[in-house]
Amino acid sequence: MVSNYELIMLLVLFLRCSIHDSFVEASEVPAMFVFGDSIVDTGNNNFINSIAKANYYPYGCDSISGLPTGRFCNGRTVVDFMVAGEMLGIPAPPPFADPATTGDRLSGGVSYASAASGILEDTGKHYIERFTLSQQVVNFQTTLDQLRILMTPEDLTKYLANSFTVMVFGSNDYINNYLMPSMYPSSFRYSPPDFANLLLDRYARQIVALHSAGLRKFYLAGVPPLGCIPSQLAIGQPPPGKCVDYVNQILGTFNEGLRSLAISLNRDHPGAVFVYGNIYGVVGDMIYNPSKYGLSVVSRGCCGSGRNQGQLTCMPFQPPCYNRNSHLFWDAYHTTEAANYVIAQRAYSGPPSDCFPMNIQQMASIKI
């Protein structure tokens, strides 16, 4: 249900496009800057002292090279599909931590995403090093310093304003913090709603900081139904065909709050666009209507061990399943390349129930 206020905001955004009376084709989006966790990590953790790495086979077994790239997937991530020729048509942003990511390699954007990272500073600390949200924002400032050398101030302003900013956070703050009471005290200190509001408050500050640095087009991905991923199914042991309801229920405040945050950011920052991505709904649809997407296995990983192939995630040189395109989940935590394509496609051209108040294709058409 769309409220009257949301209808008014949709009209405002439409008028915002019309006032410019100038549009860019999707292929004219100059760059993408990616902030997030392992869902969109393209190899940053390869270069830091982290336990959370995907630099070994069978990760990457379906990549173009057939070799591991640092992506926590059998092939391409959601971002890889977003930037592909059939969507935005720009180069995949290289990892910030790669020493080669400098000079001209910055022109198409940069990925700062880091496996095990979260909104909170202590999230994922048992994996040792990772770029937290705040550190990723600091890393962006380093890139910005280099871009100031490569571009005139006027060109840099236009470049940043029309580039895409993708932010994928929140999952680790639950599975590698709140839902690990033996290691983290957050579940004793905060009720689920209070914890979600803590996350949203910290998240909002960093989003505003990126806006202040010149970025204007934001895609804010919600948290998927974590109670349905193989690791949580293995821990919670729900009845066959069911997810861990408690885990999914505590995510509601965060996702609803992130959608509301997008609305308030659009209201408070004219000249910018903030989009909420309903990843929970998209992944949920694949779980409950798998045949619609050519999927048949939605409750266990393609590579992993133990209950639901989720008790132990994909180990080095472990043979993965053969029918990878029919699996929703690649390992204990992450979706397959096949699922990532669906998520990206619905983010790119889906209805307001998938992306609110507009999808990525529509956002790309706005010239700021």
Q: Residues with catalytic annotation?
A: 38, 331, 334
Contacts of 235 (CB under 8 A, 6+ apart): 244
**Residues with Cβ within 8 Å of residue 57, at least 6 apart in sequence:** 67, 68, 316, 317
Residue 82 Ramachandran class (φ > 0 left, ψ -120 to 50 alpha, else beta)? alpha
Q: How far is CA 26 from the centre of its chain?
A: 20
**Pairs from 144-151 (Cβ < 8 Å, separation ≥ 24):** 144/213, 144/214, 146/102, 146/103, 146/106, 147/106, 150/103, 150/106, 150/107
Q: By three-state DSSP, how is residue 247 classified?
A: helix
Contact 14, 353 (CB under 8 A): no
DSSP string, 121-151: TTTTGGGB----HHHHHHHHHHHHHHHHHHS
Is residue 32 within a helix (H) or strand (E), and if so which, with residue range?
strand 32-36
DSSP 242: -
